[in-house]
Amino acid sequence: MASRAARSRRTLNVWPGYVDALATLLLAVVFLLTVFVVGQFFLSQELTGRDETLAKLNRQIADLTDLLALERSSRRTQEDEVRNLRTTLAGVEAERDRAKTQAEAATVTQGATGALDKQLDAERGATKRALSQIDLLNEQISAMRRQLAALEDALAASESRDRESQARIAELGSRLNVALAQKVQELARYRSDFFGRLRQILGNRPDIRVVGDRFVLQSEVLFPAGSATLKPEAGPELDRIAGAISDLAKQIPADLPWVLRVDGHTDARPISTSQFPSNWALSAARAIAVVQYLAGKSIPPQHLLAGAFGEFQPLDAGTTEDAYARNRRIEMKLTER
């Protein structure tokens, strides 16, 4: 009985040791779980700061993209510079994306405390590298913004110079038009005086007449048929015309560019001689003969012009002798050079 009671007492004394061991093991497990939870908390804080930084970078890149979209260029070389800047920006965004990918490529935390510390160190290193890349990208973006601002200033200055040049050209064109109009009006006044004097000098003759702004003499008044030699009786008529031109030349200002154009015309019947192989040759020779006569009467040669139209400018399309006679003529016109 006594030995059985002793064994019972020894058995009952073992349980407190087991309880202490289990409590100690439980505390150790609780400690490890606490360390793991704390590590997870700090890791989450680090990752959250990294995401906020990347979101800020995204907003900066979006602002830069909006700024680039508003830029414009009017010259090819400047447009090339803008396209180059956009290409560079695309490279910067690609670098940003790679940095973001590297920052998000962190490994999943493990259960042990030592592995968790290593993972946290790796996350801190990745975050530091991402922040360095973000600073570099910010510097590049600032440089591109400065380049874009300088380009916009250059474009604005160029457009301003263009507007000033266009305004100056328009002003000069307006002044030139006014000056030309004044010269034309002035020449028209002298032309009117010239024809008025010729009417008074020559009187009303059927073979000498004024048609519009031209003074017309029938060829028979000046030349024999088929000839470019002036008749003797043509001298007095041309002398009166030369006198009127000479008086008028003294009145016309020196800066007014004028000429007396003498045009020769023939009828439609062809001529073919050794001296005049065509009607053109005959009309040219007659116009030159009149011009040379007027130049011999002290009319300045620089104000004389000989032209030839042959049979290609008829006054009368008929085929009668009267029609042919009307088309054979010398025309004089006071005009600008």
For 263-308, what is each residue's pLDDT tens digit? 999 999 999 999 999 999 999 999 999 999 999 998 999 999 999 9
Instruction: Provide the b/e sequence for 80-98 (b: ≥16 CB within 10 Å).
Output: ebbeebeeebeebbeebee
The H-or-E segment that residue 204 falls in is none
- Report how far residue 215's alpha carbon sits from residue 289's, in angstroms, rounded to the nearest whole number: 17
Task: Flag whether pLDDT at 158 surpasses 80.
Answer: no
Token pair for residue 206? Answer: 């059927």
CB atoms within 10 A of CB 234: 19
Task: Please report the pLDDT score of residue 34 as a whole number.
Answer: 86
The long-range contacts involving 98-102, CB below 8 angstroms and separated by at least 24 positions, are: 99/129, 99/130, 99/133, 99/134, 99/137, 100/54, 100/130, 102/126, 102/129, 102/130
Token pair for residue 217? Answer: 């003499």
Q: Are 304 and 260 in contact (CB under 8 A)?
A: yes
Rg (CA), the chain: 54
- Report how far residue 91's alpha carbon sits from residue 136's, in angstroms, rounded to the nearest whole number: 13
- Report how far residue 239's alpha carbon sits from residue 297's, in angstroms, rounded to the nearest whole number: 8
Task: Please report the pLDDT score of residue 138 as a whole number.
Answer: 79
Task: Please report the pLDDT score of residue 190 as a whole number.
Answer: 63
Query: Which residue has tokens 């003759």?
Result: 205
Three-class HEC string of 248-269: HHHHCCCCCCEEEEEEEECCCC
Name the phi and psi angles at 99, rounded to 5: -65, -40
**Per-residue pLDDT tens over the stretch 305-325:** 999 999 999 999 999 999 999
- Report how far residue 28's alpha carbon sits from residue 305's, in angstroms, rounded to the nearest whole number: 124
The segment(s) of the chain belonging to CATH 3.30.1330.60 are 204-336
Task: Please report the pLDDT score of residue 109 as a whole number.
Answer: 45
Residue of higher predicted confidence among 229 and 72: 229
Q: Comparing C-alpha atoms, which of 190, 247, 187, 237 is closest to residue 216?
A: 237
Length of the chain, in residues: 337
Task: Please report the pLDDT score of residue 94 as a whole number.
Answer: 79
The CATH architecture one would assign to domain 204-336 is: 2-Layer Sandwich (3.30)
Residues 6+ apart with CB under 8 A from 50: 103, 127, 130
- Report how far residue 50's alpha carbon sits from residue 34's, in angstroms, rounded to the nearest whole number: 25
- Report how far residue 96's alpha carbon sits from residue 201's, in angstroms, rounded to the nearest whole number: 97
**Per-residue pLDDT tens over the stretch 205-239:** 655 677 777 889 999 999 999 999 999 999 998 99
Give the model's confidence band at 61: pLDDT under 50 very low, under 70 low, under 90 confident, else very high. confident
